[in-house]
Structure 1
Amino acid sequence: MAKRATATPIEAEEQRVLARERSTTRRAAHESEKAKQQQTVAYKTTRLQKTVKQKQTVMKRKPNQDAKVDWPKPVDMDRKTNCLKNFIQHMSMDSLAESVCGICNVRRFKRDLRHVPLSKIPSIELLKIHPDLHNMIPKIQEINSFNSNESNVQSSTNNQSFTCINGMFFYEAGLYKTVDRKKRSLIHCGVCTECWSALTKEKLPKFSATNKVWMGDIPQQLQGLTIPEQRLIALYRHNSCIVKLHSPFHSTSTAQSALKGNCISFPQDVINIATTLPLELDDLCDSLKIIFVGSRMP
């Protein structure tokens, strides 16, 4: 029978110390793991509480589930009708009608012009004929002496695009006659915003003939030219010209006017191009196109 080993008092004490240390270590590890678990539980609990609180807030703000919310709301028929009426009104011939300013000869929308009697034009004395205009504008002295007052203004006897009334210079395209309640003949003038603003401030209108801005009249030989004829003598060539062709049976009150406009202009060498005139038919066809819109060929 083997004898049981006995430890000395020192060895026994060392074993007890080691045992206490191992027990302390295990206890610390267990407490640390428990603390981590408690932190995890607390974190999850906090997250859950926040989520529940957010859901409760959303439920308070959320409208009644039974009520149907339509977005975007369908446009009602009255609004559609008003939009269509406004579009037709703004695209009508009356809204798109153009007229000429009787002071600067600039074409504007008729709705943007002031139509006033000559006596109502502010600072009208600024429109008096400048002495330099006598040499610049042909036949101005003859017309000025003939039209000494408003009653003598007659477009039929004046082949020029301008007239003079009491020494004031006006373009005939911007003048028209009316009759008042007392059956007196009055002359009204269409004045654009720029000219009206300048005369109100007692300044010369920028593009008026009295400010020595004179373009001259188109010679009779060059009036009413067709598009190819204009291209033959043009200093600047436009790359396209759009003309709307419509049936002659349409009413003039509903038909739209033709659209003619220069998209891009290129300067031409007039001296060199004079030797090539007239242009070949193929050259004109490069930029002159005709498109018929309709169910069948005209």
Structure 2
Amino acid sequence: MDWLSPLTLAEIIAICKEYQIYVSDAARRKREKMVSLIQTFHEDARVIFEQRRDCKKNAALPNKRKSDLPVQGPRKKMKNSGPSAGINGDDTMDKSDEITLPSIVNNNHITTSPEFLHIPSQNELRDCQAEFLQAISPSAVREAVCAVCALLCWEHECSVVNVRNIPNAGRLQPADQDRHPAQVLIAGMLLEEKGVIEVKGKCSATLCGACLQDLHRDKIPRYSLSNKMWIGNIPHQLSCLTIPEQLLLSPIYPHCFIFKMYPKGGAQDDPTCLQSGLHGNVTSYPMNTDEIFSMLQGHMLPRPMEILPSIISGTYVGVSNLPKHWLKSTFRIWRRVVLEALEWLIEHNKCFSEYTVDQAVMASLPKDDVPLEILASMRQETSSHILLREHDSMCLVIVSLQHESYMLESHLLVWYSQ
């Protein structure tokens, strides 16, 4: 007799299996080894076995004669004895025998987890709320620009390092053959100016974790500007161009744009703050190479405005009329802006060095207005449910232009050669 009597070896093994307690095959073969192993368990684990032992002792009825017990028929053998069943395969179990706390075994020690569906206390709720507010606080979602790779990263994932203390700074120096007159070196390194902070005459650089790790290993960061990733800033002459103005200066037309505009609500008389972004999808179609080649004949820019209806199309979904001034910030053409951009491209971009300014076409451009060619290509759809049905089947979203008064959606159609 031992301290686990009257539990049998099979019942002890079943308890171990129920609470996911690992027992070696050697201990399973002999009761003495099993009992000795259980004695080395944590006190919480031994309590489980003691409760099962006491439960079985209390189940015996020594004061009740067998003749007083009701006559029962032959018992059927239980095929399923899962964790919800008793040790002997019975479907019911004494309340004293119910163990509801799952346990985890680690190095022969069992720790019971909190009670299932435990109601949190006020302190726990307060801690959870504090963690949630900290996770969405401005400091947690603040962004920073890495001075090495110019990528936008989370500020809490970056490190601020003094420029003089950047490890292996020689890895950030551009090669002589990659130098460009527009590059600005800081302490001999090619860094993104937005990621460099100067306080009281001391320069510090914001470095993301990946770049800082590569520099500690004396490696060139993969996306560092010095690793032939520098493209410079977009000049103002090009950054202010609208889509129609960009198309007039494009030597080729690999794609066309289809815009869809529909009301969103909000201010109806303030066109100055309508546009905020673009979204849409891309669809590919075969391209007629011969017609495209004939369209590209000549070396004069800008292209005539008659080509705009072929590459720009718009649909307004709504019952009311679309005011013309709503389209101005998106589809406007400004003659002076187009001329300045073309002159900059001819001077600085070798791909435009053979092109000349077509003065006749330039004179036909509006000074600052939406061309009639674009207005004539606009269509109106009064059934708003058509747009909702299209959105239900749309799965690839890349570009969109949102408005306070209407949503502008750009569908980019890409042609490819057969």
Per the normalisation by structure 2, the TM-score is 0.38
Between Structure 1 and Structure 2, the one with more strand by share is 2
Change in Cα spacing, 1:75 to 1:218, as seen in structure 2 (3 Å) is same
Q: 2:152 aligns with which of 85, 107, 123?
A: 107
Report the residue type matching 2:150 in the other structure.
N
- Give 5+ residue unaligned stretches, structure 1: 1-42, 64-69, 141-162, 180-184, 241-245, 247-258, 293-298
Q: How far apart are residue 93 of structure 1 and its match?
A: 2.1
Partner of 1:211: 227
Q: Please state if 1:176 is matched with 2:219.
A: no
Greater radius of gyration (CA): 1
Q: Which has the higher helix share?
A: 1
| Letter in structure 2 aligned against 1:170 | L
Matches within 5 A, 1:156-235: 163-179=184-200, 185-223=201-239, 229=242, 233=246
Between the aligned partners of 1:290 and 1:208, the Cα distance in structure 2 is 36
**What is the aligned-residue RMSD (CA, Å)?**
4.5
Partner of 2:121 in structure 1? 76
Contact kept? 1:101, 1:190, Cα under 8 Å? yes
Superposition pairs of residues 35-114 of structure 1, within 5 angstroms: 44-47=72-75, 54=90, 57-62=93-98, 72-114=117-159
Provide the C-alpha distance between the structure 1 equivalents of 2:402 and 2:138, rounded to a whole number of angstroms. Answer: 26
Contact 1:239 1:262 (C-alpha < 8 Å) held by counterparts: no
The within-5 A match list for 1:277-296 is 279-282=312-315, 288-290=401-403
Q: Give the total of aligned pairs.
A: 196
Task: Give me the whole-angstrom Cα distance separating, in 2, the residues matched to 1:218 and 1:267.
Answer: 29
Query: Does the CA contact (< 8 Å) of 2:182 and 2:232 recur in 1?
Result: no
Tell whether the 8 Å contact from 2:146 to 2:195 is kept in structure 1 after alignment.
yes
Shift of 1:281: 4.9
Matched, 1:119 2:164: yes
Give 1:231 shift: 8.2
1:276 corresponds to 2:308: yes
CA distance in 2 between partners of 1:88 and 1:232 (Å) = 46
Question: Is the contact made by 2:146 and 2:207 (CA closer than 8 Å) also made in structure 1?
Answer: yes
- Aligned equivalents of 1:58, 1:72: Cα separation in 2: 22
Structure 1 residue 100, shift from structure 2 partner: 0.8
The answer to whether the 8 A contact 2:279-2:401 is kept is: no
Deviations 1:7-62 (A, max 9, x none): xxxxxxxxxxxxxxxxxxxxxxxxxxxxxxxxxxxx944529x99x8488534414
Greater mean deviation of Cα atoms: 88-97 or 70-79: 70-79
C-alpha separation between the residues in 2 aligned to 1:289 and 1:260? 5
CA contact (8 A) 1:232 1:279 kept: no
Moved more, 90-99 or 75-84: 75-84
Deviates more, 1:203-212 or 1:278-287: 278-287
Gap change, CA 1:261 and 1:113, over 3 Å in 2: farther
Q: Which amino acid aligns with 1:202?
A: D
Distance change in 2, residues 1:102/1:265 (3 Å): farther
Partner of 1:187, secondary structure, is: strand
From the superposition, tell whether residues 214 and 56 of structure 1 become closer, same or farther in structure 2 (CA, over 3 Å).
Answer: closer
Deviations 1:103-139 (A, max 9, x none): 11111111111101012211111112311222xx333
Q: Percent identity?
A: 19
Which deviations, in whole Å up to 9, do the C-alpha atoms of 1:66-121 show, x marking residues without a partner?
xxxx9623333333332222222222222211111111111111111110101221
Structure 2 residue matching 1:102: 3-state secondary structure: coil
Paired with 2:236 and 2:155, the residues of 1 have a C-alpha distance of 27
Report the equivalent of 1:139: 182
TM-score by length of 1: 0.51
